Amino acid sequence: MTIRDRLSIQFTLISTLLLLVVLSGIYLLTAQYQKNAFRERLLDRATTTAELFLAQDNLSEEKFNEVRRKYPQSLPGEIVHIYNENDVPVFINAKTNQWSKEVIDKVRLNKYFYYAEGNKQTVGIYYIDNSGNFTVLLSAIDSYGLQQMQQLFWLMVVAFFISFFIMLFTGRLFSKIALYPITKVINEVKFIRATSLHKRLQIKPSKDEINELAITFNNLLEHLEQSFESQSSFVAHASHELRTPFTTIIGDIEVTLAQNRNSIEYKETLKRVLIEAEKLNDLLNDLFQLTQSNIDITAFEDVRLDEILWQVKDEWMNRIAGSNIELHYDLPTDTKKYTISGNHQLLYVAIGNIIKNALKFSDGKTITCKLYLGNNLPIISITDLGIGISKANLEKIFQPFYRAENSFGYAGFGVGLSLTDKILRLHNARISVSSILGKGTTFLIYFLPLA
């Protein structure tokens, strides 16, 4: 079932239910009013009867004539009984429907009594007269009222069904109008393909939910377009970086095999092949780590940042001869302050990439690493005295395979910082870089709480 049909049905059902409640309320209130009005007529009729037959001597001639004029206006199915104190009927206009002593006693006790049996309604009054006290019981059927209520009932039934079909039609029209903006968005989205991610949905000045949906979808298209462009750029750069070592290896092997060589020349060729093969291995490892950085966040564990820094320092000082890394800790005694939830191996790779670059571009100068708290959150600072990065290149250093102009004389593929940025974002960490060309660079890593 489509949303339009569902909205139409829901609108019709709610409107129909509301109409049914209103009509039922009107009918019940009218019935109650009709019943109360007829009860008043019964009471007035009983009083008139008592005054006509029991109080003639107590009334003025004018009042008596008025009562006598009212009396012939009998009610449909009217039955009147008047009983004295001994329950003996003194006036009966019918020979049937004799009231029981129990009913007579209730009238006498309460001075007024009313009850209904089916369509017949009965009222009783206790009439005090100078000739004695009497009990007047009168019953009748509200034929006119019943006829009116029946007509009202069928009128409401007809009005209900007519209104139902009108609401069904208007419900479909309403749902069509309400969903028109969404239908328009759907029609626009149908023409967006991988080759046309530059297209955007139309945005209106209004701030309704459909406009917010269009804005959100446009933001998604923006991210997808950037992702596709980044992926295309990544594939192009990766292909280029892979092609270069392979070309070198193939060229060296072809030149060497072109004629007989002595053992020294073969060894030189193998050394060059080994160097290029190691470059390929490093590049493949970087690419593998880049794909592995998409690890599920549920696999995280508690990681102490001071231990990671110590392990990174120990590894790179052993791998690069003559390197010097200074560690400075300004930490409280509570280790939980600098223990985060994360993946130990990925964080080791991320921080190690920054320190490796600092060592590589510093030409043996001392690297300073600090771990401290800022606003009660752990911060890592890594500073080198190397070649630095120009302002124009600072925003691009985290792009895959990007290398600044002054870094081409150093080994590398431009994958490390891209991998670092991806890992840190996975851990809800933010990284900022400040640098002076020719004087050095400082990386600051801010570890924010995971949401």
pLDDT beyond 50 at 192: yes
Phi and psi at residue 372, in whole multiples of 5°? -150, 175
pLDDT beyond 50 at 56: yes
Fold of the 296-447 domain: Heat Shock Protein 90 (3.30.565)
C-alpha–C-alpha distance, residues 130 and 54, integer Å: 9
C-alpha–C-alpha distance, residues 179 and 100, integer Å: 69
Q: In Å, how far are 1, 8, 54, 196, 209 from 183, measured between CA atoms? A: 16, 16, 83, 20, 14
C-alpha–C-alpha distance, residues 199 and 218, integer Å: 9
Encoded tokens for 307: 């231990």
> Which 8-state DSSP code applies to residue 56?
G
Domain boundaries, the chain: 3-148, 209-290, 296-447
Most confident of 250-264, 268-282, 337-351: 337-351
When mean pLDDT is compared across 175-184, 186-195, 226-235, the lowest value belongs to: 226-235
C-alpha–C-alpha distance, residues 50 and 64, integer Å: 12
pLDDT beyond 90 at 43: no
CATH code for the structural domain at 3-148: 3.30.450
C-alpha–C-alpha distance, residues 69 and 90, integer Å: 22
Task: Compute CA 438 distance to the chain's CA centroid, rounded to the nearest angstrom.
Answer: 52
> According to the model, what pLDDT value does residue 283 have?
67
Interacting residues of 377 by C-beta distance below 8 A, sequence separation 6+: 446, 447, 448, 449
C-alpha–C-alpha distance, residues 104 and 124, integer Å: 8
C-alpha–C-alpha distance, residues 201 and 39, integer Å: 70
> According to the model, what pLDDT value does residue 241 have?
60
CA-nearest of 305, 309, 298 to 354 is 309
> According to the model, what pLDDT value does residue 264 have?
84
Q: Following DSSP, what letter does each residue of 287-328 receive, concatenated?
A: HHHHHHTT--GGG-EEEEHHHHHHHHHHHHHHHSTT--EEEE
> According to the model, what pLDDT value does residue 64 have?
47
pLDDT beyond 50 at 54: yes
CA-nearest of 127, 170, 146, 14 to 77 is 146
Which tens digit of pLDDT belongs to each residue from 136-179?
Answer: 888 888 888 888 889 999 999 999 999 888 888 888 888 777 77
177: number of Cβ within 10 Å: 9
The amino acid present at 408, given as its one-letter code, is: F
Fold of the 209-290 domain: Helix Hairpins (1.10.287)
pLDDT beyond 80 at 66: no
- 279 and 245 Cβ atoms separated by less than 8 Å: yes
Which tens digit of pLDDT belongs to each residue from 410-450?
Answer: 766 667 788 788 888 888 899 999 988 888 999 999 998 86
